[in-house]
Structure 1
């Protein structure tokens, strides 16, 4: 992923040098296990530990001759290990014992970073929802004024969506935290299963229960589906903030530095660029998730069709998602909320937002439903057509607008507030 949409702490996990360092870690752990089984001399393991992680540039030089990354890595690594010890490196292993086990470890760590960032997003959403629980605004359905709600209620819905994404992401992180050291076609023919258990246990990984030489790719697909769903939740938030920042609405506003310039031609522009960026990144994540599904079906015990794809989609997905979540957290934390404009917009439709309350009152008084609905609708249509206040249109129908305030619609609102407080307690 390009640096513009990558946080350093996530990017560091996916560098070539980090990958090779993890490969060295796996090779040493496997040799330690073999030593305990009496198959590798202690001195050889000590020599492996003493050898430096080979440089990515040196491995690339070997790869020009070998056209095989793992063999090139082993050649570069063994350069700094005495020959009598180097022959014990990679004993009984096949390439993907190394590659997939290291990858599982890296993806688990990346998952941990993303989970931590997502928890922060949930916290900010829940806290700002509580802050604006009583900030009344008009609710909109189909883009049209419906009934009063509050900005806090809106944010609470997003907080619970992110919480559900956390559940999915945690399950996917656990599913991907898997390795295998089972040899060619996964039968343990040339390696004791103890080696696998030893390596995976020390890396914090589970063992693939029935390896086919590779870790099953439905695990990777599950991770990227969870990432894409989280991205869609962030997109939902960002899209709403974009809509609320339109000039004729302007109920919220992104924080901007003094260096902000919104247009090369129109100095007055204050565009919702952060929100727009978050929406765009969600599209990438959905594309990566689809591609991960294509990787699940491999030929027989394994093929290599997935490898080139994963070199792109795994680091890109996790880097993009981590950037998107952290950027959304910053956006929400510094968001300006214009509560006065929110309240004022309720009255811009001349009382029409109270139509359902008028209907409810008529039904409560015993009016037949169809007659009550048609009467209130006729009054509403008159207001829409003429611009007369809804109270006057009702009076023309022989009805009256009861003394209503937006708070009437929020009489049972605290039941949702109580659920929100339970969510906030998770992070307290």
Structure 2
């Protein structure tokens, strides 16, 4: 309890994402890079024995962490520390470990692998989130609710149409995630400044052997594409693009958390609240939306980190400078951990998201008289009235009705005012027909169902293997 603990590790992120960015996985990848490099170098004719390859394999998972720590303090160089520690175990292979490559060969290729694997973890959580939100949207696609612009009452929409807006943001994020995942490139083997000069010597000027080495090595880690050129490192714009993606997911998440908290204040929707959960230490009646607040808090953090990776990409010097190193150690892993936590919280909220239809109806009835003004204008114009004249009459009546509501606390008498105005040619029977909320939602329900059918369901079908089985068994099926 006397040392700082990272909340992303202690409280928020999943075990799978924590392992993905753990030292153990990172350094095992380093060793696999050394092993596969040696295997392919041998295959391409370099003087490496089968005994040395077996030696590497036999000690691949045999990491002496104390020895690594000793060498890192001695050399102040993490790659050399692991190289020496591995060499003490794999003594036969020691002379050929790290042959022809530089530190960036390990660091950059490993980072690309971890980023790719991190995206894979997020993909599953994102698909399950889309599945849950799709089911919610389908269930409430036809339920009228009061829409807001500028957080002021506007016209009607439906609960499902509103949640379709959240879905659409996630769809954009998913499309970007897929693009980044499919197009991420292995750093490959480029040497100290990207010229692969060492391998020109090792392969006696045979460029094809270097290309074969790169392609075979990238295939070992399931990459189809390799950066055609690099400096000492891969282009740091890749990090900026990835963190921008994570920022975009966070922006979508924050928007949802804002909307839910606004709706919870109106008592129309509410995040889950446990039986013994305490909302406030002082105000025992409170049901604070701590989950959506936590989402928003983490989202702000990720959005802020994306600027850091952009600065790193912008300020690299020539073939490379090391002032990216500490920054990347912090921002890449922590951005993934935070987004992982955000998606878990959002999935958790949607497991038991509560809707209060009677409160929704109450708010509709309070504003309904004002919501039909455009319909009244249209009906009057159909009967030959001047649109501008009717608009002005309605504006005057609505302002007077609003003043009575706000200043005197009286009931909304806007409809009575309209019916008593002889200059507005509309009958009470017609107004009563117009005042049906289900007739004031426009094409909200149609738009929502079409969106689910044409854009969301095909994605869920394509990624059906990623949807948790308990969800497909319990919730509405595709």
**Equivalent residue for 1:250?**
267
TM-score normalised according to structure 1 size: 0.96
**Residue 198 of structure 1 pairs with residue 216 of structure 2:** yes
Specify whether residues 70 and 425 from structure 1 end up closer, same or farther in structure 2 by C-alpha distance, changes over 3 A only.
same
Q: 1:27 aligns with which of 34, 44, 48?
A: 34
**Equivalent residue for 1:384?**
402
Specify whether residues 350 and 104 from structure 1 end up closer, same or farther in structure 2 by C-alpha distance, changes over 3 A only.
closer
Q: 1:3-55: CA deviations, max 9, x gaps?
A: 21211110111111111011111111111110101212221111111114324
- Separation in structure 2 between the aligned mates of residue 363 and residue 122 of structure 1, nearest angstrom: 44
Q: 1:130-164: CA deviations, max 9, x gaps?
A: 00112211111111111111110000111111011
**Residue 427 of structure 1 pairs with residue 460 of structure 2:** yes
Gaps of 5+ in 2: 1-7, 200-209, 406-411, 462-478
- Separation in structure 2 between the aligned mates of residue 381 and residue 186 of structure 1, nearest angstrom: 71
TM-score normalised according to structure 2 size: 0.86
**Residue 331 of structure 1 pairs with residue 340 of structure 2:** no
**Residue 394 of structure 1 pairs with residue 418 of structure 2:** yes
> 1:396 offset after TM fit, Å?
3.6
- Separation in structure 2 between the aligned mates of residue 67 and residue 194 of structure 1, nearest angstrom: 34
**Equivalent residue for 2:464?**
none
> 1:180 offset after TM fit, Å?
1.8
Residues 165-174 or 213-222, more deviating: 165-174
**Equivalent residue for 2:69?**
60
> 1:349 offset after TM fit, Å?
3.0
Matches for 1:94-105 after TM superposition, within 5 Å: 94-105=102-113
Gaps of 5+ in 1: none
2:9·2:18 contact (CA, 8 Å) conserved in 1? no
CA RMSD between the two structures: 1.5
1:108·1:177 contact (CA, 8 Å) conserved in 2? no
Aligned length: 425
1:176·1:220 contact (CA, 8 Å) conserved in 2? no
> 1:211 offset after TM fit, Å?
1.4
> 1:350 offset after TM fit, Å?
5.8
Question: Helix, strand or coil: the match of 1:138?
Answer: strand
Matches for 1:250-269 after TM superposition, within 5 Å: 250-269=267-286
- Separation in structure 2 between the aligned mates of residue 381 and residue 368 of structure 1, nearest angstrom: 20
> 1:181 offset after TM fit, Å?
1.4
Matches for 1:169-318 after TM superposition, within 5 Å: 169-191=177-199, 192-205=210-223, 206-246=225-265, 249-297=266-314, 298-318=316-336
> 1:194 offset after TM fit, Å?
2.4
Specify whether residues 217 and 14 from structure 1 end up closer, same or farther in structure 2 by C-alpha distance, changes over 3 A only.
same
Q: 1:107-150: CA deviations, max 9, x gaps?
A: 10110111111111111111100001122111111111111111
- Separation in structure 2 between the aligned mates of residue 425 and residue 371 of structure 1, nearest angstrom: 49
- Separation in structure 2 between the aligned mates of residue 318 and residue 265 of structure 1, nearest angstrom: 35
2:87·2:94 contact (CA, 8 Å) conserved in 1? yes
2:143·2:159 contact (CA, 8 Å) conserved in 1? yes
1:224·1:292 contact (CA, 8 Å) conserved in 2? yes
